[in-house]
Structure 1
Amino acid sequence: MIIRQKYLDALTSFQDTDLVKVITGIRRCGKSTMLEMMRQKLVGDGVDPSRLFTFKMESMEFDGIEDYRELYHIALDRIKGVEHPYLFFDELQNIEGWEKAINSLRVDCDCDIYITGSNAFLLSSEIATLISGRYVEIPMQTLTFSEYLDFRGASLPEGDLGSSGVVQLGDRSFATTKSLFTDFMAYGGFPYLATKKPEKAVCSAYIRDLYQTIVVRDILAREKRRGHKTITDRKLLERICLYLSDNIGNKTSINKIVGTLKENGAASSNKTVDSYIEALLEAYLFTRADRFDIKGRALLATGGKYYICDTGLRNHLNGYRGSDTGRLLENIVHNQLVFDGYTVHVGHLRAGEIDFVASGNSGERFYIQVTETMLSEETRERELAPLRKIPDEFPKIVLTLDEVHPTDEDGIRIINIIDYLTGSAEL
């Protein structure tokens, strides 16, 4: 089991508190494994295994349990007489009213609770109201490139990796960092696929099954159980998903999507499309980055961008084509910034768009452009010009795949993307 330290540290920091620890994220990003990592850590710290209780809600053991009262009494019966038990609930979103059972266990028992869920409805407004202030969410993503290297068993040299740096892998083969990044960009970072050299047929079959599970079980079936009639058209859902996937990194509006659907014989209303997009966001398939007016220091209501959870999923949906590297790079950088804890917006200036405005909790801010290459004069000017016109002193950065490049131009730092993603170069 490969430790994903960031998430384990987050769980550990809230261990033995009154807060319910809620791990959220897309299916198969490693949430269940993270619960097992936490279990192993507790045992390693001296907690008797008899105090650890796991409830895998998708197991046949709990098949048919849909009532929160039944869930509460099953859990209560199992932990009876156990001093300070640890409760692990995996994939709770299918249990209607689960939050009532969890809140009652929290109130009635001296216990430590950890749960996972693959749909953001798990923490919707009505649920959050019931346990408001009594839970902490730990959002989980598919692997970052640095984590991917860990999963491939890459033995990294000291210092600057460089995209041409040769590394030894867990299977004792050798590869360049750049070739590993090419694999990562094409096939993504789902943990199951990241432990060996990817094979296109295997990756495609795995992601196809994952995608169908998300669409059928996490979106359509969930909406049916909620009694909603909004998300019922599977073809429309998949068309909208395909549109968003094809347009990662492009400014997108509901009107534009509705217009495109109409042109392709699938007329729909703005309200319906908006509901379908919300369902895709709730399933963690996409993240929206709103536009930020840099000069006016305000969020803009229109023209935001959508980014997919994993480039492997994107390539499965839209085809493994080599002509789309720029937008895949932008998506990978977006996901890395989110992983690093930044709030990410798309920057707007009259002089042009800034790919990302990344804001930290301590008031720091970075303006970032992402480009495959900036070796030509035209491309270099296109990337640098908007950054030069930003009227403040926060750091301005261009991330590029170029291996040979200037490190500074007019006070704008230029960093190799692979060096940034592996931690060899900081923002």
Structure 2
Amino acid sequence: MEKEKIIEILNEWNYWNRPLPFTYSREKYESEIDKKYKTGEIIFLKGVRRSGKSTILINHIKNLLNEGVAKENILFVNLEDPRFAPYLNLELLEEIKNAYIYYLNPRSKPHIFLDEIQNIDEFEKWLLKEYELKSSFLYATGSNSKLLSKEIGSSLSGRYLDILVYPLSFKEFLSFKGKRVSNEFEYITNKLEIERLFEEFMNYGGFPKIVLTEDSETKKAELKSYFDSILLRDIVARYKLDNFLKLEQLAILLLSNISNLVSNNKLKNILQVSYETIEKYFEYLQNAFLIFTVKKFDWSLKKQMANAKKVYSIDIGLSKRVSFEVGKKKGDLLENIVFLELKRRYEEIFYYKTKENYEVDFLIKENELLTHLIQVSVTLNDEKTLKREIRSLIKAKQELRCDAKLMILTMDESRKMNIESEEVEIVNIIQWLLFS
């Protein structure tokens, strides 16, 4: 590809001769990047398409400029620009850097940002070369977990640090809406508005552009386009699939059953495909960050693998848009919201069933300790529901012989209860999302 054409494309994506655009801050990610890039390691941002990875990089560019880095020392490359499509190979990366050096002549070690790097086969070879030569600060984003893990895990082991980017948390959602709630007093004095915004969050989820879009029909259309794009660009094109219909049906089926147990055998029978196809497509959907699965806790890894898994969506707005059923199940939506927040906070998340088949929605394991047993319920106003949820927690704690904190997350008011010498903390979900 000719230098002139490359620099023409790059100029449209960079800010060498124009101001950077207004963007919303995502402080947690920006702070993490700032700490990690100073180690000199390659920084990878991974996450579902449209979760805001590129914007987070632009915010980091703003921080670099504030630290005194010259604009000419920053190169942003969008590897999904269609003009690059016929040339997506290792040679293109080298040609891009050469064109940038030739025309911009950076005065010191440049910062190179490569957006959606999985579009380049064997990209890790080029990154390894740059890393070993210590000629650039390197950043990359990707929308496929297995592809990135496989390629960077082998070739770049010990040379990179990764960051998993999710759509907006509820706290970030409020910030994008211009509402910062930093303490309980601000929550109480703005409670009605915050509850209204939480309903909106439950309806449309946390994809940044969707949150900033006002018109509901536009939101719905955008969410459907996200769903199609994830399937077509991150799965069908990546794995060269020829049966889009079955993949789409499986995705819709899973997103219609969030917070519930799924069985590959049942899915196979419903979709009339082989077990191997279900297993393969299921993995592809997870690799694209569209869905997550949670295993039943057991100290035996073999038993963990054998038991049915619960499925969760990357975004409840996406689930509601593609499923007619999920809109009726507020409890499932709340559980999915809680799951995503737990994913941000903890590494190991399970569900649990006692010997008497009492289910606990979430079990948190930190190192070798079981630290939390958590139930999610829309309301505990019904005495039977309250007793059932508490019974499950206490039976699980007794059976596991652990010192886990017992918690029920609900839309009710927060309070504490002591049952059978056990303290059960009942916490309002919104307050838990904002302050815990």
Relative to the length of structure 1, the TM-score reads: 0.89
CA distance in structure 1 between the partners assigned to 2:182 and 2:167 by the alignment: 25
Match of 1:186 among 203, 210, 219: 203
What corresponds to 2:166 in structure 1? 141
Q: Tell me how far 1:160 sits from its aligned partner.
A: 5.1
1:97-131 deviation per Cα after TM superposition (whole angstroms, max 9, x unaligned): 21111111212243210001111244142442111
Match of 1:69 in 2: 91
| CA distance in structure 1 between the partners assigned to 2:182 and 2:345 by the alignment | 23
Matches within 5 A, 1:17-416: 17-79=39-101, 82=106, 83-156=108-181, 158-159=183-184, 165-166=189-190, 176-195=193-212, 198-224=214-240, 231-261=241-271, 267-293=272-298, 299-319=304-324, 322-351=327-356, 352-360=358-366, 363=369, 365-389=371-395, 390=397, 391-403=401-413, 406-410=415-419, 411-416=423-428
**What is the letter of the counterpart of residue 418 of structure 2?**
E
Identity of aligned residues (%): 31
Contact 2:409–2:428 (CA<8 Å) still a contact in 1? yes
- Look up the SS of the partner of 1:53 in the other structure: strand
One-letter amino acid of the counterpart of residue 90, structure 1: D
CA distance in 2, matches of 1:295, 1:413: 29
For residues 19 and 243 of structure 1, do their structure 2 counterparts lie closer, same or farther at Cα, with a shift above 3 Å needed?
A: same
| CA offsets 1:368-414 (integer angstroms, 9 cap, x no match) | 000001111110111111111213211110001113x5422321111
**Bigger proportion of residues as helix:** 2
Instruction: Provide closer, same or farther for how the CA distance between residues 256 and 161 of structure 1 changes in structure 2, counting only shifts above 3 A.
Output: farther
SS of the residue aligned with 2:379? coil
Q: Does 1:422 align with 2:427?
A: no
The amino acid that maps onto 2:155 is L
Q: 1:165 and 1:361, CA in 2 relative to 1: closer, same or farther beyond 3 A?
A: farther
For residues 123-161 of structure 1, the C-alpha deviation after alignment (integer angstroms, 9 at most, x for no partner) is 142442111121111110001111100000114374256
Q: Any idea what SS the aligned residue of 2:40 has?
A: coil
Deviates more, 1:78-87 or 1:344-353: 78-87
C-alpha distance in 1, partners of 2:70/2:360? Answer: 53
Of 333-342 and 318-327, more deviation after overlay is shown by 318-327
String of CA shifts for 1:149-188, please: whole Å, max 9, x gaps.
00001143742566x7536xxxxxxx52111111001100
Deviates more, 1:286-295 or 1:276-285: 286-295
Number of equivalent positions: 403
Check conservation: 1:57, 1:89, Cα contact below 8 A. yes
Q: Is the 8 A contact 1:294 1:347 kept in 2?
A: no
Quickly say closer, same or farther: Cα 1:76–1:291, change in 2 above 3 A. farther
Partner of 2:349, secondary structure, is strand
Deviation at 1:357, TM superposition (A): 1.0
TM-score, normalization: structure 2?
0.87
Summarize the Cα distance change of 1:59–1:296 in structure 2 as closer, same or farther, 3 Å threshold. closer
Post-superposition offset of 1:300: 4.6
Residues 190/296 of structure 1: CA separation in 2 closer, same or farther (3 Å cut): closer
Kindly tell me: are residues 415 and 337 of structure 1, through their superposed partners in 2, closer, same or farther at Cα, counting changes over 3 Å?
Answer: same
Taking a change above 3 Å as real, the CA distance of residues 87 and 238 of structure 1, as seen in their structure-2 partners, is same
Aligned twin of 1:7: 29
* Gap change, CA 1:258 and 1:320, over 3 Å in 2: closer
Q: Distance in 2 between matches of 1:362 and 1:39?
A: 39
Give the secondary structure class of the aligned counterpart of 2:184.
Answer: coil
Q: Is the 8 A contact 1:295 1:349 kept in 2?
A: no
CA distance in 1, matches of 2:300, 2:232: 44
Looking at structure 1, the residues matched to 369 and 379 of structure 2 have their Cα atoms a distance apart, in angstroms, of 30
In 2, Cα distance between equivalents of 1:20 and 1:127: 10
Deviates more, 1:366-375 or 1:405-414: 405-414
Number of the residue aligned with 2:3: none
**Paired residue secondary structure (1:184):** helix
Residues 1:362 and 1:29: Cα distance change in structure 2 (over 3 Å)? farther
Counterpart Cα distance in 2 of 1:161 and 1:333: 22
Could you list the runs of 5+ residues in structure 1 that have no partner in the other structure? 168-174, 225-230, 262-266
Shift of 1:353: 1.4
CA distance in structure 1 between the aligned counterparts of 2:336 and 2:360, rounded to whole angstroms: 14
Distance 1:110 1:126, change over 3 A: closer
Contact 1:91 1:115 (C-alpha < 8 Å) held by counterparts: yes
The whole-number CA distance in structure 2 between the counterparts of 1:24 and 1:394 is: 31
Quote the offset at 1:319 in angstroms: 3.0
Distance of 1:58 and 1:407 partners within structure 2: 52
Structure 1 pair 26/88, CA: closer, same or farther in 2 (3 Å)? same
Q: Distance in 1 between matches of 2:246 and 2:305?
A: 28
